[in-house]
Amino acid sequence: MTTLSVKKLFFRFIIAAGLLLCAMTSYGQSGNSSIKLIDAANFSIDQTEMDAIKAQMQAAVDSGHLPGALLMVGNNDGVGVLLSVGTQGPGDDTPIDQETIFRIYSMTKPIISVAAMSLVEDGLLNVADPVGKYIPEFNNMQVINRETGEVTPAQNVMTVEHLLTHKSGLIQEIFSPDTALGQMYRDNIPADSSITTREMAARLGQLPLFFEPGTAWHYGHSTDVLGAVLEVATGQTLDVILQERIFEPLGMDETTFYVPTSKASRIAEPIHGEMSDNTIVRPLLSGGGGLNSTTEDYARFANMLLNGGEYRGVRIIEEATLDLMSEPRIDESVSREFFFYGPRGNWSMGFHLQPTDGNNPNGPHNIGWRGIGGTLVVVDRENDFYMLYMEQRRGGPRGAPFDNTTAQRVVYEAMAD
């Protein structure tokens, strides 16, 4: 282990001990909020633009698409935009605010990816490692022919980097419901989270892959398997890994896989679509989409990314590591057939990469990702801001006046005016 790794481990021990001995020093305590309001003019957004954005958000509530939503724009200086409309759920009079708890679903993935790269820094993991080194079921992988259903031995070895970049060959039933492999996932992976993280990974390792690792991008269970890899690499469960490496140092004391019943009154609920009861503790700790969080909490993580891996003097990963994580990983050798954005943008080791200038697809890009329940994080280091949009919605009528895609667009438009 390198001297840097030893120093980091020692530093993490000191942080954890300090938090245990003096809980009142936690960032999550009163007076240490991640939200310090500043003038929106710091982001080149004026009051007229703020009012117009809020009116669009309110229109989505008034039209019955969602109960409420929150939009935040901030940087190291503070938060210049904090707009909220509506309530936490149908029949709930509690207004949505920065302490409302949301199911963030795939916004879990960037957190898991950062945790993975912190293990790489500490010498506990290598992105070139075969997944089978940690999950033996991946040592004898097979690939299914999507046309004939024939299964043959895989020629490529799946690595940790393939999990980080979604080039593993793993998919997810929800994104490929009409395929033979999608049906296998449906039959073998219970939807009720009744198996553990490592049990899920073992089952996935016994199923064929959708394509040879490294040859295409496809959204799926890659980060779930990555979570199992982290558990094996550390000998800890995923919740403990995240608590020690990210949540405690950043003061993210509201971000958990399951919500204590004492906080149930703060959980946002959708009008349309069903979301599971996130107060019921289940065996699965899903690295791909299992976390719940508040806007105030996730702002700490987003600010850390904006600041090159550090937040309020606490370093989570080195800036060079974050730079490596932000490099494009879809090149000419990788099929974009299943890439969400087609020919536009790219994917890195844990984040989407979207050009910040629509006229320059090869120019600067932001990093981030969204959750299937309507949430979004965008971190734009070139323009020095992060953005969070929080709502809860699954399905429902089309044509919402506002959603996470709209949120990103109107923020960039307001800044450009």
Mean pLDDT across 344-361: 90
For 161-190, the pLDDT digits (tens) are 999 999 999 999 988 888 899 999 999 999
pLDDT band at residue 362, thresholds of 50, 70 and 90?
Answer: confident
Indicate whether 11 pLDDT > 70.
Answer: no
Q: What is the largest CA-CA distance in the chain?
A: 62
Quick one: 227 and 240 in the same domain?
A: no
Mean pLDDT across 338-350: 93
Mean pLDDT across 366-375: 97
Quick one: 240 and 198 in the same domain?
A: no
Beta strands in 251-364 (DSSP E): 292-294, 310-311, 314-315, 346-347, 352-355
Quick one: 334 and 306 in the same domain?
A: yes
The total number of structural domains in the chain stands at: 2
Confidence (pLDDT) at 359:
76
d(CA 142, CA 153) in angstroms, rounded, equals 4
For 25-69, the pLDDT digits (tens) are 333 333 589 999 999 999 999 999 999 999 999 999 999 999 999
Confidence (pLDDT) at 7:
43
Confidence (pLDDT) at 176:
84
Alpha helical stretches, state H, 283-416: 295-306, 319-325, 404-416
d(CA 336, CA 167) in angstroms, rounded, equals 10
Beta strands in 216-331 (DSSP E): 292-294, 310-311, 314-315
Quick one: 246 and 281 in the same domain?
A: yes
Domain boundary among 209, 231, 253: 231
For 140-163, the pLDDT digits (tens) are 999 999 989 999 999 999 999 999
Indicate whether 332 pLDDT > 90.
Answer: yes
Length of the chain: 417
pLDDT band at residue 386, thresholds of 50, 70 and 90?
Answer: very high
Indicate whether 218 pLDDT > 70.
Answer: yes
Quick one: 217 and 265 in the same domain?
A: no
d(CA 126, CA 120) in angstroms, rounded, equals 5
- Looking at every residue in the chain, the average pLDDT score rounds to 92
Domain that holds residue 151: 124-231
The pTM is what?
0.92
* Least confident window among 1-10, 18-27, 313-322, 354-363: 18-27
Residue 320: how many other CB atoms lie within 10 Å: 11
Quick one: 329 and 252 in the same domain?
A: yes
Quick one: 218 and 132 in the same domain?
A: yes
For 278-298, the pLDDT digits (tens) are 999 999 999 999 999 999 999
Which residues lie below 8 Å from residue 190, measured CB to CB, with a gap of 6+? none
Helix (H) or strand (E) holding 86: strand 78-89
Confidence (pLDDT) at 20:
36
Mean pLDDT across 247-264: 98
User: Residue 64's domain is classified under what CATH number?
Assistant: 3.40.710.10
Quick one: 162 and 101 in the same domain?
A: no
Mean pLDDT across 91-110: 97
Domain boundary among 231, 247, 268: 231
Crossing angle of the two packed helices 108-121 and 3-21, in degrees rounded to 10: 130
Confidence (pLDDT) at 361:
77
Quick one: 114 and 134 in the same domain?
A: no
Quick one: 225 and 247 in the same domain?
A: no
Domain boundary among 231, 262, 292: 231
Mean pLDDT across 315-344: 96
Quick one: 373 and 406 in the same domain?
A: yes
Confidence (pLDDT) at 358:
74
3-state secondary structure of 292: strand
Quick one: 135 and 265 in the same domain?
A: no
Confidence (pLDDT) at 18:
41
